[in-house]
Amino acid sequence: MSSTITNIPKGYGLSQNSLPDSDTSDDDSTISPSALKTHSSSASVISKIQAPSTLDVLSIKDIQNQVVEKMKQNQIDNIKRDIYVEIVARKKNYSSSIKEAEQAANLFKTLSISNILDPKTFEADNSSIGIDKHVLDLSPALGSIDVVSALNKVNAIRSEYNLKVQKAKIEEDRLNKEKQLKEKQIRDKLSAQLAQEKAKLESAELKSKDNIQQKPPPKITTPKIQSTPLQSQPNNSKPEINNNLNDSLSSDLFTKLTNINTVLAPKIKQNPDTRKFCFESKRGINLRIGQLTNTISQINLVANKINQILIDSKSKSDDAYRWLLNLTSKSLVSQAETEVAVKVSVCFPLAAVTVLLLQSHPQLLEMVLIRLNKKCPYILPRTIRKSSEESKISYAKKLCFKVSENNEIESMFKYEERMCGMLAFYFAIFQTVPKNSVNPYPIHNGWKWISKLLNLPVEPIYPALITTFIEIAGYTMESAYGPQFTKLLTFIKCKYIPQIPKTNSTAIAATARLESSLAYYFDNESKFELVGDRTAK
């Protein structure tokens, strides 16, 4: 009886043609030799089977399963072999220290196992404890290693590591102590500088009082009073003394500016080579100052670039050097007039660059004061009187108002904004404390400025100027003078503000702002709103 076999699955190593399509008789049928040659694994399995006379479906499936299992096992063995070869190859590239550490680790592993197992059963039971054969092959080599020397080597490595850790910690502690010591030295240096400035100021005030007392009383004349003087002033001659002194200083600065424009400028123009050099240097200076931001890196970059330009001009000629000092101060003041007026915190990086340049070029200070005095009469506080013959336009120009070609005078709002911007730059200069050096124009100039202004008859713009002074220089003034500065602000709040005329709209608005600043100072612990913008990032 014949039967047909259908849907016989293909086996690994067997082709479909190698399997019988049907049983045509009861005689035994054999497997095709071509099927036995397709894979060595399948051949080895099939060769062990005593060729049956008849193959049914179950026997074929069984053969296929055996072939598949054998192939899987062969693949696993091949993968293990490849991994082992890769491990051996990589171990050859290890450094000597890593090899020694590996040998020591294997030695400890072998020793720990040897302490538990009997040497005779150690190799036999290695599979039960998970030790690979290639590890056991290392046993003869490991056995030749001196255990004591290996342990000493490990201890030496551990000791060396601990020593490095201790050295690193000691070095870190040393650096921290040096940092703390430097910070303490800076604080002590600042305190000593402030104490010295305070002593100089007190000595100068005592000397000034002695000189005033020794002078004969002035002849009584009818004074020309512009506004009501402060009630707390002990005598009316003190404002006149300050006024005359600052008038003289301002006149001296104007004389030097005239000399620059009439003597130095023609010299520069007459020399084509020097003129070209100064023109190119001017562009570089203006570009750097225009790019300035309130970051330490940018401040140092701008200061270094301008410093190099000034050094190069020194080697060119003394006239070129003086002219570029003049151009640098002009650019700084112009930036203060336009940019600081809009955003007052811009004054801090400008002042920082100025103080850095003053370290190498002290002549720049006079140039800056000349340029500030030209555009802002309040740099040297004094009463600027209008004569009976003087026109309104002429008097406005004397006060540094901008006047158009049509003789239109600048608005009071714009004027006050510009004046406060330039004064903020001036205040920021003497309140700046450079790192590891001394400010050539120190903080006592702030005390001189505010004391002179408060001893003058009140003008409508003065409250705005005082507010700018408190906001910009108040932080450093309080650090330098402590309770004395607080007393000064108390005097402004209780004595000075009541004397401000209430008929002028500009004075009323500026007074409200001043009262707000004083209230913030007395009512808040932080006291100064601009302290965050004071330090470069």
Q: What is the pLDDT of residues 17-41, one digit of tens each?
A: 444 444 444 444 444 444 444 444 4
Instruction: Please report the pLDDT score of residue 95 as a whole number.
Output: 56
Residue % of the chain over a pLDDT of 90: 34
Q: What does residue 320 show for φ and ψ, rounded to 5 degrees?
A: -65, -40
Mean pLDDT for all residues in the chain: 76
- Tens digit of each residue's pLDDT (9 = 90 or more) over 435-469: 888 899 999 999 999 999 999 999 999 999 999 99
- The CA distance from 510 to 515, in Å, is 9
Tell me the mean pLDDT in the region 182-199. 75
Q: Is the separation of the CB atoms in 309 and 324 below 8 Å?
A: yes
Amino acid at 154: V
Burial of 537 by CB count in 10 Å (0-12 exposed, 13-18 middle, 19+ buried)? exposed
Cα Rg of the chain (Å, integer):
47
- pLDDT for the residue numbered 531: 46
Domains of the chain, each with CATH number or no CATH? 3-85 (no CATH), 94-143 (no CATH), 238-453 (1.25.40.510)
- Given a cut of 50, whether residue 347 has pLDDT beyond it is yes
Residue 74 CA to residue 79 CA, distance in Å, equals 9
| Residue 90 pLDDT > 90 | no
pLDDT, position 466: 95
* Between 124 and 80, residue with greater pLDDT: 80
pLDDT at residue 19, rounded to an integer: 41
Spatial CB neighbours of 447, under 8 Å, sequence gap ≥ 6: 201, 477, 481
**Taking the model in full, what pTM does it have?**
0.56
More confident position, 259 or 126: 259
